[in-house]
Amino acid sequence: MRGMSLLLVGLLWVGPAVAQSADDACPQLPPGAGLVWELVQGPDFVFCKALDPGDGRQALSVMIGPDPVFRPERGLRDDAATIDGHRVRWYRGDVATQRELHVRETLVPLGRRRNAHVVVRADSEAMLARNRELAEALRFDQAAVGGD
């Protein structure tokens, strides 16, 4: 569960604002998603949180960088899916401080030494399904995320 601990730290960490805009650094949300990106930029990664502007709830997050902290565990496998043309497998996860949350996470390979760790969160199965659909409709602009 080391990966989950690091994920929790990443989800809770709030870094400084950066000159690069979320539109340039984060994947494209599907039209009509009704979410806005909040961006945190690290030395070799970007962390994008898709928030509902009305209530500030996080629907999903994407960490893009060379070395993902997420290490999938076979026993936590869930459904297969496709994100931006990449076949992925969702894994069940949790947030230690919010056990009632439904969490799914996956890795999307973006090119040489670039990965996207995608996490969807929801307080109900219905909202989890909606947030997964949004995540599966993400589009990664290779120029924006530093891909090949």
Which CATH number fits the domain that encloses residue 118?
3.40.1000
Domain presence at residue 25:
no
In this predicted model, what pLDDT tens digit does every residue of 98-111 receive, in sequence order? 878 899 999 999 98
pLDDT at 9: 40
Query: What is the rounded CA–CA span in Å between residue 120 and residue 107?
Result: 12
In this predicted model, what pLDDT tens digit does every residue of 66-105 receive, in sequence order? 988 888 899 999 999 999 999 999 999 988 788 788 999 9
Domain presence at residue 21:
no
Domain presence at residue 69:
yes
Domain presence at residue 145:
no
Domain presence at residue 38:
yes
- Backbone phi, psi, residue 86, to 5°: -100, 125
Domain presence at residue 24:
no
Residue 77's domain spans which residues? 2-15+30-136
In this predicted model, what pLDDT tens digit does every residue of 126-143 receive, in sequence order? 999 999 999 999 999 854
DSSP letter at 63 equals: E
pLDDT at 48: 95
Confidence (pTM):
0.81
Domain presence at residue 20:
no
Helix residue spans in 26-140 (DSSP H): 125-136
Q: How would residue 20 be classed by pLDDT, with cut points 50, 70 and 90?
A: low
pLDDT at 17: 43
Query: What is the rounded CA–CA span in Å between residue 79 and residue 111?
Result: 23
Domain presence at residue 147:
no
Q: How many domains does the chain have?
A: 1
7 near 69, Cβ under 8 Å? Answer: yes
68: three-class secondary structure by DSSP:
coil
